[in-house]
């Protein structure tokens, strides 16, 4: 079973329950036959409810997601989002460590007398690039970055502690 398409079909049917297989195929960008096969497999696994109605000469098959599978799928999505948040917290913590520790150390090494020219060239190159990219002259120092990231980390910490 195509797990990516299965998740896509589930998401579509949670957002818009009661779609026909042809509508699902159009929304996913797949062939009707392949979508029909996957929907049938999902019905066999008791993930979807399928109802067939006759409209004129045509039979229309509409699909809805079963409530128990819907709850399970939404909970899995929440767990995935929580893991992404934890990953973002770890990356932000490493960035903070770099800004507090390694940045000053790196700056001291670069500012040694024989490397002073490198720092001046890098600084002018960075300023020229920023001025070309953005019309306003913006200076981002370590303090500004810390002021931006610290409330974000604090907000994430408060959000995680409230549960």
Quick check: pTM over 0.85?
A: no
Residues 6+ apart with CB under 8 A from 56: none
pLDDT beyond 70 at 48: yes
pLDDT at res. 146: 67
Q: Which residue has the higher pLDDT, 91 or 22?
A: 22
Q: pLDDT tens across 66-91, in order?
A: 999 999 989 998 888 888 888 888 88
For the chain, domains (ranges, CATH) are 3-65 (1.10.10.10), 82-161 (no CATH)
Query: pLDDT tier at 101 (50, 70, 90 boundaries)?
Result: low
Asked if residues 49 and 66 have their Cβ atoms less than 8 Å apart, the reply is: yes
Which residue from 41, 22, 47 is spatially nearest to 33, judged by alpha carbons?
22
């Amino acid at each position: 079973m195509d797990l990516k398409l299965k998740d896509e079909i589930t998401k579509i049917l949670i957002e818009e329950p009661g779609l026909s297989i042809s509508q699902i195929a159009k929304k996913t960008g797949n062939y009707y036959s392949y979508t029909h096969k996957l929907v049938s497999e999902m019905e066999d696994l008791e993930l979807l409810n399928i109802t067939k109605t006759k409209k004129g000469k045509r039979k229309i098959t509409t699909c809805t997601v079963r409530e128990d599978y819907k709850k399970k799928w939404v909970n899995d999505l929440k767990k995935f989002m929580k893991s992404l948040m934890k990953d973002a917290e770890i990356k932000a913590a490493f960035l903070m460590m770099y800004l507090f520790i390694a940045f000053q150390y790196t700056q001291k090494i670069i500012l040694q007398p024989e490397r002073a020219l490198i720092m001046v060239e890098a600084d002018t190159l960075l300023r020229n690039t920023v001025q070309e990219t953005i019309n306003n002259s913006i200076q981002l120092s370590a303090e500004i970055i810390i002021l931006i990231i610290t409330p974000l980390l604090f907000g994430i910490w408060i959000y995680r502690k409230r549960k």
